[in-house]
Amino acid sequence: MSSLLSISDIKEDVGNIIDLAIRIKAGNVEDKPLEGKTLAMIFQKSSTRTRVSFDVGMYQLGGRAIFLSSNDLQMGRGEPISDTAKVLSRFVDGIMIRAIEHIDVVELAKYSDVPVISGLTNLEHPCQALADMLTIKEHFGSFENKKICFVGDGNNVCNSLLLIAPLLGMDMSVACPKGYEPNNEILKTACEYAGENNTEIIVSDDLKIALDDVDIVYTDVWVSMGDEAEANQREMDLSPYQVNKELMDLANENAIFMHCLPAVRGQEVSADVIDGLQSVVFDEAENRLHAQKAVLYYYLK
Ligand code: CP
Ligand code: NVA
């Protein structure tokens, strides 16, 4: 059964899923395509956008979603992930999971007879990247000659953006201090995709190099869920990478600012940037709904 754990799982279909999201957002799909279908949603970590957009998305497509906090599942008391996957597969048509460890989602998908969709792990956040690309396409009309720069901690969100950008023909740079580079395996795969699509990937600790000719400046929190013990060190190391007016001035004049949210104003982004005219963060958040409806249609229909 095919699942969405990584952007690599939809390597050939990324553009089609974004176009489907555009059609769904415009109301150009049949009524209630997922009537009678149920999505189980397992959360091992907090969520606002992912939880609500998947729930509302299933409802709008004619199906329903069941929220399952891992603390309340037998899984939280040690029932094997493999048994959980086999049992849920007998009841529901798809499983969405936000997990602490990526390997647990791989295990769930291995034993599941229904599609598994990742709603974030320590390694990737594929649904976020799809919503981000939908937002970029809406804003600029196409991906052609566009360059995105991720600034800060080379985390799960950065990893999924690195994989998706070259597949859509975009250049990508990452501006991060030493020690905060994106996952090495993902970077290797992203560079392969860039080679296949004639695009460029740069990772640099030099803001001027990374932000040269950039159309989209993207950042995320310095302290991701699970990194709380390192909060002080991270704030010290990442403070030169705050996205503020001065940093935005290194990008192109018409550049937009993006953030997956939740954001910490005064840390990774200044309030005047995230609340300013260049920011598209709330369009981006709304697009989680439309992009995920496309994912649900694609996997569950
Ligand atoms: N961006 C995102 O995934 O937000 P939540 O943690 O609120 O789901
Ligand atoms: N990098 C963040 C993203 C939250 C949506 C985290 O993992 O906490």
| Ligand 2 lined by 260 (C-beta under 6 Å) | yes
pLDDT number for residue 235: 98
pLDDT number for residue 1: 67
Q: Residue 193 and residue 158: Cα distance in Å, rounded?
A: 15
Domains and CATH numbers, the chain: 7-125+288-300 (3.40.50.1370), 128-284 (3.40.50.1370)
Of 44, 128, 278, 292, the active-site residue reads 128
pLDDT number for residue 2: 94
Cα-based distances in Å from 40 to 28, 51, 285: 26, 11, 22
The question of whether 220 is a catalytic residue gets the answer yes
The number of residues in the chain equals 301
Q: Residue 159 and residue 187: Cα distance in Å, rounded?
A: 8
Nearest atom of ligand 2 to the alpha carbon of 47: 5
Of 49, 98, 102, 234, the active-site residue reads 98
| Ligand 2 lined by 221 (C-beta under 6 Å) | yes
Mark the ranges of the chain whose per-residue pLDDT is less than 50.
none
The question of whether 260 is a catalytic residue gets the answer yes
pLDDT number for residue 261: 98
pLDDT number for residue 13: 97
Reading the block at residue 14, the tokens are 């990324």
| Ligand 1 lined by 48 (C-beta under 6 Å) | yes
**Cβ atoms of residues 105 and 97 within 8 Å:** yes
Closest CA to 118 of 89, 98, 104: 98
Taking CA atoms only, the protein residue closest to ligand 2 atom 3 is: 224
pLDDT in tens, 27-54: 999 999 999 999 999 999 999 999 999 9
pLDDT in tens, 116-136: 999 999 999 999 999 999 999
pLDDT number for residue 145: 96
pLDDT number for residue 273: 98
Give 246-277 as a DSSP string: HHHTTS-TT-EEEE-S---BTTTB-HHHHTST
pLDDT number for residue 127: 99
Nearest atom of ligand 2 to the alpha carbon of 128: 5
Reading the block at residue 285, the tokens are 């958040």
Half-sphere exposure of 189 (CA within 13 A, CB side): 18
| Ligand 1 lined by 270 (C-beta under 6 Å) | no
